[in-house]
Structure 1
Amino acid sequence: MLSDMRCYELPDPALRAYDRGVGTLRVSGEVRGYLASVVGEIKFPARAPWPWFVVVWLDGTKERSFEDYGPHWCTVSELDAGYFDHYEQGTRKDRRGWFGRTIKDTEQGPPRRYEFAWLPADEAAEKWVELRLTDNDF
């Protein structure tokens, strides 16, 4: 139950490493993808950093972005501990939507725990360009 979770105290309340950061997602030391992030600001109920994340797989596929916020900081606390619980890369499928329109959808892969490590700032900046990340991805 969420109310039973402890609040996570941020080691860096500004989340500087998370702003335009990129980290590796590894399984048994092998890179499987990257996790990129930006930090905005949430204003309610109080001003606080508001990180957004996107997973980018080795083939360049980007997943939908997702956010994190306090007091529990579920994603941030995992990353700070050196892991990320997510899913393996899913499979893309086209399906029929309303009025016969084709909808691109992704079926999630099985759950996976990834080893996570931030890239140094200069490598992250290079990887940001290589992965073709833009603010619209978040």
Structure 2
Amino acid sequence: MTEPRDYEPLDPSLSSYHHAVWTLSVDGELRGHVACVVSEMMFPRRAPWLWFLVVWIDGRREFPFEDYGSGWYTLREIDAGFLDYHLPSVTAERRFLWRRIRVDQHGAPQKFELEKLSASVARRRWEELGLSDDQF
């Protein structure tokens, strides 16, 4: 069975997702956090645009990734209490013609359990992780 194309978030206003933080765990073991900001797209005008950033327990960060309606594919997972993502990325050196380049390679796929932190704990965690809106 395929998932429906459209999804209605648990919080249709999306305000509870702005500056939200969830723990990422596997079998109860904390692996990191995922944080979110809500912004707006330029087109379609003022459409909500969610950005997520994964910060691993050792402080390494993945590149931010986005989600938007009407499908809200990442948000529907988060609302269901999990995130299909990958283990930490590693930087590898490759040769391209005569040059050496560095590329990030995703770790193995992993289904993480999520737990949303309360607003007050999320604010503290936001600071502890050194997050700012311009990183998304």
- TM-score relative to the length of structure 1: 0.86
Q: Name the CA distance, whole Å, in 2 between partners of 1:31 and 1:23.
A: 11
More helix by share: 1
Secondary structure at the counterpart of residue 120 of structure 2: helix
User: For the structure 1 residues 90 and 47, does the alpha-carbon distance in structure 2 shift closer, same or farther, using more than 3 Å as the test?
Assistant: same
Contact 1:18 1:38 in 2 (8 A): yes
| Displacement of 1:24 | 0.4
Q: Name the CA distance, whole Å, in 2 between partners of 1:80 and 1:30.
A: 20
> Of 120, 123, 126, which aligns to 2:124?
126
Which residue number corresponds to residue 113 of structure 1? 111
Count of matched residue positions in the alignment of Structure 1 and Structure 2: 135
Amino acid of the residue matched to residue 65 of structure 2?
Answer: F
Contact 1:93 1:104 in 2 (8 A): yes
Q: Name the CA distance, whole Å, in 2 between partners of 1:46 and 1:82.
A: 30
Which residue number corresponds to residue 26 of structure 1? 25
Unmatched segments (≥5 aa) in structure 2: none
Contact 1:7 1:71 in 2 (8 A): yes
| Displacement of 1:45 | 2.5
Q: Name the CA distance, whole Å, in 2 between partners of 1:107 and 1:25.
A: 20
Which residue number corresponds to residue 58 of structure 2? 59
User: For the structure 1 residues 47 and 28, does the alpha-carbon distance in structure 2 shift closer, same or farther, using more than 3 Å as the test?
Assistant: same
Which residue number corresponds to residue 68 of structure 1? 67
- TM-score relative to the length of structure 2: 0.88
| Displacement of 1:65 | 0.5
Q: Name the CA distance, whole Å, in 2 between partners of 1:11 and 1:24.
A: 18
Unmatched segments (≥5 aa) in structure 1: none
- Tell me the percent identity: 44
Which residue number corresponds to residue 17 of structure 1? 16
Per-residue CA deviations over 1:66-108 (Å, capped at 9, x if unaligned) read: 11001110000000000000001122224456884x6442211
Amino acid of the residue matched to residue 10 of structure 2?
Answer: P
| Displacement of 1:52 | 0.3
| Displacement of 1:10 | 1.9
Q: Name the CA distance, whole Å, in 2 between partners of 1:8 and 1:19.
A: 18
Q: What is the alpha-carbon root mean square deviation over aligned residues?
A: 2.1
Q: Name the CA distance, whole Å, in 1 between partners of 2:122 and 2:79.
A: 17
